[in-house]
Structures are given as C-alpha cells and as structure tokens.
Structure 1
C-alpha cells in the first residue's frame, strides 16, 4: 500500500505539478508582456498639458504649458496659444524662454474696467513662441508660462494651442475634452480654484488603478510560481527520503 501511494505521488509530481507550473509561468509571461506593451505602445499621443498654480476665479495666476515632441517626429519650433473669444483676460504676460522669441497679438473688445475704473479696450488674442534655434527635439519637452488674470468665474479654462514642427506640419490641440471622451487632440485645460487639486487627484487615481491591478496580478502569479516550486522541491525531498 505504501509503495502504491509513493507511485501515485510520483505520478502526480510528474504530470500534475509540472503542467500547472508551466501554465502559471505562461500566464506570468503574458502579464509581463502586457505590462511592457502598455509601457511602450503609443496608445495615446503625448498631449500638451496645462497646469495652474492654484489661483481661483478673479485671481491672477501662472499657467504653465508642457509641450512634448514625440519620438519619431520633427522638432517643435513654434507654440501658439490662443485665448478663447469668450474669455477676456485683462492681463496676459508671456514668460521668456531661452532660445525662443515671443509674438503677442491683440483684439479689440467692448470696454471692460479695472478696479480703479480704467477702461480696457484691447485684450490678448494669442501668444506665440518661435524657436530661434533647433527647438524641442524628439523625445523631449519644453515649458511655456503665462501670467494671466483676472481668471474667469468658471470651472475650467481651455487654451487651444497649435504646435508647429520643423518640417512645417502642425497639430491643432483644440478639441473639447467632454466627460467620458478621449479626443485625439484635446485642448490643454486647467481647473480654476481649489477644486484643481481634487480634479487632478481623481485623474491621477483613475490612471493609477489599472496599473496597480496589473502589477498586483503579476506579483500574484510570481508568488504562485514560487509557492509551487517550493512545494515541488519539498515533494522531491520527501521522495528522496522515502527512497533512502
């Protein structure tokens, strides 16, 4: 009877555990491959981003645009930021960027008034930075800042932006990013006021959750394989001891 149990245990070791272990190893390889694919595949273009320093409606603040040049594209040589027609910012000042020139255009509006009663009849329509050198090479990014205000009494502010490359081609980042949608060329948008942090946090959390799930899956498979290897090693040790 003991000999029969030992033979059955050996058969289980020869057929059950190796097959299961190979399946788990294959699953682990697939998960790792999926992780690598997510990291290197161009599922979404490198969007132009915009960040506000926390200023709220009626305040003055700094908006910083991050402009990347994707790998495989020509260098970025011009960045044109447009102020929407329905937004009237009395003050728009562009930060100097080393190696770039600045051009500002204005439009005429019905008078708006400063706190001291001074009328304002012109507001900035667009700000354009033009590279005086090589621009932003592929695989790198540049930052362009605007000091603006008073900020509108609105939840968000979109700044449509045209990105021009050294070969003359352009990308117009002007599409509205409605809830639940992922446009190809969304306009860089900031959230105004204290809700900015909450909105950014929600977005960050939403993007982190799938990666965390994938990471935990990979870890779980690795631990499973480790446990099976330990179990198999223990069985082999038991078989050797029994044979002795």
Structure 2
C-alpha cells in the first residue's frame, strides 16, 4: 500500500468518528427535548381547577370544578369545596351530576350583605360531592358545575379551597394560594379571576349567559377543557415525535459506528 493511502486512512477514521459523535449528540438532544415537552404537557392539568378561569365582577357566572384523578390505584370518592368568606356568595346552586350526591352547607354571615335590594344574613360556605358508585377512576376526570353570584365588585379574584378524598382514605388538600410572580405551589387552591364588569353588572357571564338563551350551561367550560386537553395531546405528540427522531439518530449512529 502506498504512503499516501496509509496516511489517508486515519483522516477518514477521524471524519467518521466525528460524524458518529454528532449523530450521538443529536440523539441525546432529541431524547431530552421529548422528555421536556412531555413533562410540560402533563402537570398543567393535574390539579383541581376552576373553568372558565375568569368572570366579570358584579355578575353571575356558571363555573365548573374540574377534578382529575391523580392516582393509578385509587378512585376519587369525595370533593369538599370551601367557599370564600371574605367575599361571600349569596347564591350558589349545584347542577346535579350523575353518580354523585351533593349537599350545600350555609353559615351565618358576620356582616349582612345586600343583593338585588335584599339583605342577606347567611350564605353557602361549603359544598360536598360524594360518589354513590365508583367515583372518578384512574385516568379520568369529572366536572362539577356551579352557578354562583353575585360576584364581588371590589375583588380581583376568588380563592376556593378543595379537599379531594380517595377510596383508600387519602386526602389531598388543594388549599395553597397562588401568589403573583411566585412559582405555583404544590397543591394550589382553585381560583376564579374577576375581570372588569360588563354592561350594568347584572348580566350573566360565561355559561350562565347561555342559560338565559336556552343554551347548554356547561358548554363554555367543556370547550375550555377540550381546548386544554387538545393542547396537551398536541404537545405530547410533538414530544413523542422528537423522541422517535432522536432514537432513529441513535440507531443510525450505532450502525455507522459498527460498520
């Protein structure tokens, strides 16, 4: 073999090793990207939340409590929702949910409030849903619709506190307030943001407006949930796709290296 051919061989080997190294790095980056996207897609829907997230001040609204089951080996059989006491809601009505029994507890107000020209001395303080059958099983969620009002005009949000009980007696306490500019707590309390009043402040908002028109009261919240779930699926699909590409690069790199 000539001297020139002998000297070219190490250069080719170094070039081949460089390509393998680059492919390996791409494989690693692809796998990390897939894991990151999937992690971002999951936790956003893993806690008890209020949907829609906002309603106009001074009006009435229909909201849904969205409750996912976070356990693989237990079912959610009870939800206890404590209503805010700093801004009491004089009118709270629960829509019947098949398979669940609901009870509303009222408490005396320390200071009467006025609604539609009438003084209110007591208001709902707690709502409890109890499963009559299997409850919310693994991999499922349930929505609990409420009609609430009159929403306060002097607040920017309403914070609810929820206790989620599983059939193995575990209780998850969704009671931690979320502070603006701070990381979300581990067990955030469900929250309804209050926006600027619409019209004269007496109109219904969200699903409640559809009720007045003979529409489906749960449609807006269901649409919100559908949008969120679609986003999660899309992000998950992107993550899986990136992961598959990364694995493909890894296999290709391995073959090139063994060749």
TM-score, normalization: structure 1? Answer: 0.71
**Cα deviation per residue 1:77-102 (whole Å; 9 max; x = unaligned)?**
00111112212111111111110000
Aligned to 1:21: 19
- 1:71 Cα deviation after fit: 3.7
Q: Tell me if 1:46 matches 2:77.
A: no
**Cα deviation per residue 1:31-55 (whole Å; 9 max; x = unaligned)?**
2332443426998592112123753
- 1:58 Cα deviation after fit: 0.1
Aligned to 1:64: 64
Taking the aligned partners of 2:82 and 2:144, their CA distance within structure 1 comes to: 13
**Structure 2 unpaired stretches of 5+:** 198-223
**Contact persistence 1:161–1:188 (CA under 8 A):** yes
Q: Tell me if 1:172 matches 2:173.
A: yes
Q: Tell me if 1:190 matches 2:189.
A: no
**Contact persistence 2:162–2:189 (CA under 8 A):** yes
- 1:9 Cα deviation after fit: 6.4
Q: Tell me if 1:82 matches 2:74.
A: no
| Greater RCO structure (CA 8 Å; 6+ sep) | 2
Work out which of the two has the higher radius of gyration on C-alpha atoms and give 1 or 2: 1
Taking the aligned partners of 2:194 and 2:6, their CA distance within structure 1 comes to: 73
Taking the aligned partners of 2:42 and 2:182, their CA distance within structure 1 comes to: 17
- 1:7 Cα deviation after fit: 7.3
Taking the aligned partners of 1:194 and 1:73, their CA distance within structure 2 comes to: 43
Aligned to 2:219: none
Aligned residues: 205
TM-score, normalization: structure 2? Answer: 0.67
Taking the aligned partners of 1:53 and 1:32, their CA distance within structure 2 comes to: 34
**Contact persistence 1:52–1:191 (CA under 8 A):** no
1:87-106 correspondence runs (5 A): 87-106=87-106
Q: Tell me if 1:150 matches 2:112.
A: no
**Structure 1 unpaired stretches of 5+:** 233-244
